[in-house]
Amino acid sequence: MDRLTAETKIKELVKRIERHNRLYYEQDRPEISDQEYDQLMRELTELENQFPELASPDSPTQRVGGEPLPFFEKVVHKTPMLSLGNAFGEADIRDFDRRVRQAVGSQAVRYVAELKIDGLAVSLHYENGMFVRGATRGDGSTGEDITQNLKTIRSIPLKLTKPLTLEVRGEAYMPKAAFDKLNREREERGEALFANPRNSAAGSLRQLDPKIAASRQLDTFIYGIGDLQGETVESHSEGLDLLESLGFKVNKERRVFEDVEELLAFIENWTEKRPTLPYEIDGMVIKVDSYSQQEELGFTAKSPRWAVAYKFPAEEAVTVLEGIEVS
Ligand SMILES: NC(=O)c1c(N)nc(OC2CCCC2)nc1O[C@@H]1CCC[C@@H]1O
C-alpha cells in the first residue's frame, strides 16, 4: 500500500474507532461487537507500524499500552503538589473561615467546595495541547513518570481542545463497580483481594506493564492547575471551567459559596449522600476561590492556608462475629 492510501485509511480508521469509543464509553451503547472493534484496532496498529510517521500521538492505539518498562523515571513537578490541612468538624471549618477573613480584611470571600476523591494524586503535563508526561505525586516535589499507564485512562485527553502548555493536577481513581468486579475476578483466581478502590488504583498505576493499567477501568477527576501558559484565570472556579472546556473530566458536584452556613449545609448533605456516589470520597476540599486572596494567604511548610480538607467521620466499623453484629 502506498503512503497516500495509508494516510487516508488511517484517518478513516481513527474516525471510526473514536466514534465507537464514544458510543461505548460515553453513551454505553456500542454498535459493534468487541471482536469487530478489536479488528479495527488491529488494522490501525498494523498501518501505524508500517508507516510510523503517520501514527499521531493522540491515536486511539495509544490507549492500549505498549511494552513494560524496566523502571519508572523520576519527575520533578513544575510546582510542588501540596498536601492539605485537615478539618474534622463544623468548628474547624468555622475556624478556617475566621482565619481566612482575618487575613483578607474586609474583602468578600468566596469558597469552592469539592468532593475529596479517594484515589491517587497525579500531575499531567501538556505541551501545545498534547499530553507529554504524567507523574505520581510522590513526595510532593518529585514523583514517578507513569505516562504510559496514564495514557490508558480514557478520561485523560491525549490532545486538548486548544494548543495550550500547562500542568494540571487531579485524582486517578477506580470506580466502585470496577473495584468490585476486579476483586470478584481475583477471588475466582484465588488471588489476594485489594483492600479498597484507592489501593487498587495506586497498585494499577504503579505497574511497569501498561497493559495491566489498561485493563483496570481507571478514571480521573482534574481539580487544579499547576502551571498555565498563554491564558490567565482569576479564580479557582474559573480555572476548573477552563479545564472542563479543554477536555478534562472535572467533578460536577463542585459549588461556590459566600456564606459559611450554606457551605456547612453542603458538607452535611454530602456526608449523608456519600454512599450513593459511584466512586469513593473521604471528605470535601474547601478552597478560597480568588487567586489573589490565595496569594495573600500563602502556604505553611507543606500545605496552603487557603484550602482545607474536611474529613468525614470514619464510617461505623462493624465486625460480624459468627453472624452476631458488634460495632
Ligand atoms: N482528592 C481530591 O479530590 C483533591 C481535591 N479535590 N483538591 C485538591 O487540591 C489540591 C490543591 C491545593 C492543595 C490540594 N487536592 C485533592 O487531593 C489532594 C491530593 C494530595 C493531597 C490531597 O488529598
Tens digit of each residue's pLDDT (9 = 90 or more) over 160-205: 999 999 999 999 999 999 999 999 999 999 999 999 999 999 999 9
Is residue 198 lining ligand 1, measured as CB closer than 6 Å?
no
Using the mean position of ligand 1's atoms as its centre, give its distance from the Cα of residue 310 in Å: 11
- pLDDT number for residue 324: 46
Q: Is the CB of 289 under 6 A from ligand 1?
A: no
Q: What is the mean pLDDT of residues 219-244?
A: 96
Catalytic option among 15, 74, 116, 176 = 116
Burial 133-161 (b: 16+ CB within 10 A, else e): bbbbbbeeeebbbbbbbbbbbbbbbbebe
- The finding on whether 140 has its CB within 6 A of some atom of ligand 1 is no
CB atoms within 10 A of CB 274: 16
Asked if the model's pLDDT at residue 315 lies above 80, the reply is: no
Protein residue closest via CA to atom 13 of ligand 1: 82
Residue by residue, what is the 3-state secondary structure of 285-317?
EEEECEHHHHHHHCECCCCECCEEEEECCCCCC
Could you tell me what percent of the chain has a pLDDT over 70?
96
Q: Verify whether residue 116 is a known catalytic residue.
A: yes
Q: State the pairing for strand pair 86-87/324-326.
A: unpaired
pLDDT at 34 over 70: yes
pLDDT at 234: 97
C-alpha cell at 113: 467546595
CA distances for 104 relative to 92, 107, 184, 233, 323, angstroms: 19, 6, 52, 20, 56
Instruction: Give the separation between CA 131 and CA 66, rounded to whole angstroms.
Output: 16
pLDDT in tens, 185-194: 999 999 999 9
pLDDT at residue 226 tops 70: yes
Confirm if 62 and 151 have CB atoms less than 8 A apart.
Answer: yes
For residues 105 and 283, give the distance between their C-alpha atoms in angstroms, rounded to a whole number: 28
Record the pTM.
Answer: 0.91
The interface pTM score, or ipTM, of the predicted complex is: 0.98
d(CA 311, CA 85) in angstroms, rounded, equals 10
280 lines ligand 1 (CB under 6 A): no
- Centre of ligand 1 from the C-alpha of residue 294, in Å: 15
- Cα(112) to ligand 1 centroid in Å equals 12
Percent of the chain's residues with pLDDT above 90: 89
Cα–chain-centroid distance for residue 115? 12
HEC string of 240-282? HHHHHHHCCCCCCCCEEECCHHHHHHHHHHHHHHHHHCCCCEE
Ligand 1 pocket check: which of 285, 287, 293, 308 to mutate, most ligand atoms within 8 Å of Cβ?
285
